[in-house]
Amino acid sequence: MSTNLLYTNDLGIGYSEKNSQKLLHRHLNLALKPGELICMMGPNGAGKSTLLKTLAGFIPLQEGNAFINDQSIMTLKEKDISQMVSVVLTEKLTIEDFTVRQLVSLGRYPYTGFFGRLTDEDQKIIDLAIADTGLELFSDRKLSQLSDGEKQKAMIAKALAQETPIMILDEPTAFLDLPGRIEIMRLLRQLTVHKNKGILVTTHDLEQTLRFADKLWLIAQGKEMVCGAPEDLLLQGYIESFFAREGILFDSHTGCFRSDEDYSERIQIIGKGITSYWVKNALERNGFNPGGNNKADIQIEITSGEDPEFVITGTHVKEVRTSSIESMLHELKKNNNN
């Protein structure tokens, strides 16, 4: 018996259109294990949602096979799949008048039927799902009264109430602010660790993927799908190659993309820590190259202390002390114009 919750064998995904077949990807051999959080990334139109819907049994396989708990998806009934895989899609909620508890209770549908009576055991499972997502205080609140982040938690709670070993989520952080994105990804990470779930997520958020994912699946049209630890794929250059565009560079030191600017002067930064990092960020944004050494024409020394100063010196620069990054940039630009 396989140790994988879900795996594929030469899977082909796409659509059948009338008498023709549109294949997006072929020969996919993928696996999801218990206690594993996998993020799938790729450009728009790469086939991420198609792959998710195929693995969830929503659309048919085009080639090969996919297995859930060692059973072929092609042999499983919809009810069987719904007891093994819970899905959270990006569609906006259309049941805004439901309370959080009413929404979460729908997760018991695979076991009770739509009009089935909820038992005391069902109610306990619903209570636990609400607690696990931190929504106890929102249980009786209508969905229309929730923030986007709270709605997403409610959808995850519904999936938890479904009691499936596998959870599949399509861009769960798409409409959230930065704290909300971190909160949702942290929650999913906790569910893999404490509930031993196997979770597959599509996302465009590389920063959170590098922070929380056990594995990264990279997918793009015309490329062979690549899978591995996010750090390995970063160091091997796959992340950069999958998202490469003219004028966009990937910084493997920070795990971020930035625009390819024509830098003016090379500047040496003297100092370490968080202040140095954000000085570098500000210089790059304004067209300066902060990668200089002691032979650079300009040096910026960051003094230590609670209120650091930024001391600008250089071959053709009169020493200037500034108290903020904004004023430091002003002095550098003024020097450039002279």
At 95, the pLDDT band (50, 70, 90 cuts) reads confident
The answer on pLDDT for 92 being more than 70 is no
Ranges 13-22, 98-107, 180-189: which has the least confidence:
13-22
Q: Measure the CA–CA gap between 65 and 22, rounded to whole angstroms.
A: 17
Ranges 4-13, 124-133, 226-235, 294-303: which has the least confidence:
294-303
Average pLDDT over residues 23-51: 94
Would residue 188 count as lying in a domain? yes
Question: Does one domain contain both 301 and 229?
Answer: no
pLDDT at 326: 95
275 contacts 282 by C-beta, under 8 angstroms:
no
Question: Does one domain contain both 78 and 150?
Answer: yes
Question: Does one domain contain both 138 and 283?
Answer: no
Ranked by mean pLDDT, which of 159-173, 290-304, 311-325 comes out on top?
A: 159-173
pLDDT at 113: 67
Find the Cα–Cα–Cα–Cα dihedral 125, 130, 136, 141, rounded to 10°. Answer: -110
Per-residue exposure over 34-55, b if at least 16 CB sit within 10 Å of its own CB, e if not: eebbbbbbbeeebbbbbbbbbb
At 259, the pLDDT band (50, 70, 90 cuts) reads low
Question: Does one domain contain both 166 and 282?
Answer: no
Question: Does one domain contain both 30 and 132?
Answer: yes
pLDDT at 54: 96
Would residue 84 count as lying in a domain? yes
Ranges 42-56, 156-170, 262-276: which has the least confidence:
262-276
pLDDT at 134: 96
pLDDT at 291: 75
pLDDT at 13: 95
193 contacts 31 by C-beta, under 8 angstroms:
no
The answer on pLDDT for 221 being more than 70 is yes
The answer on pLDDT for 263 being more than 90 is no
Last residue of a domain, which of 250, 277, 297? 250
**Could you tell me which residue, 338 or 319, shows the higher pLDDT?**
319
pLDDT at 93: 65
Would residue 213 count as lying in a domain? yes
This prediction's pTM? 0.82
pLDDT at 316: 76
Question: Does one domain contain both 180 and 97?
Answer: yes
The encoded tokens of residue 265 equal: 């002067």
The answer on pLDDT for 282 being more than 80 is yes
Q: Measure the CA–CA gap between 238 and 244, rounded to whole angstroms.
A: 10
Question: Does one domain contain both 216 and 307?
Answer: no
Report the domain count for the chain. 2
Would residue 109 count as lying in a domain? yes
Would residue 145 count as lying in a domain? yes
CATH number reported for the structural domain that contains residue 191 in this entry: 3.40.50.300
pLDDT at 11: 97
Question: Does one domain contain both 69 and 97?
Answer: yes
Would residue 257 count as lying in a domain? no
The answer on pLDDT for 277 being more than 90 is no
pLDDT at 261: 59
Range of the domain at 25: 6-250
Q: Measure the CA–CA gap between 44 and 145, rounded to whole angstroms.
A: 31
pLDDT at 338: 65
pLDDT at 258: 65
Question: Does one domain contain both 246 and 127?
Answer: yes
Would residue 259 count as lying in a domain? no
Question: Does one domain contain both 167 and 109?
Answer: yes
Q: Measure the CA–CA gap between 198 and 73, rounded to whole angstroms.
A: 17
Question: Does one domain contain both 82 and 114?
Answer: yes
Would residue 1 count as lying in a domain? no
Question: Does one domain contain both 245 and 271?
Answer: no
Structure confidence by residue, pLDDT tens digits, 39-88 = 999 988 899 999 999 999 999 999 999 999 999 999 999 999 999 999 99
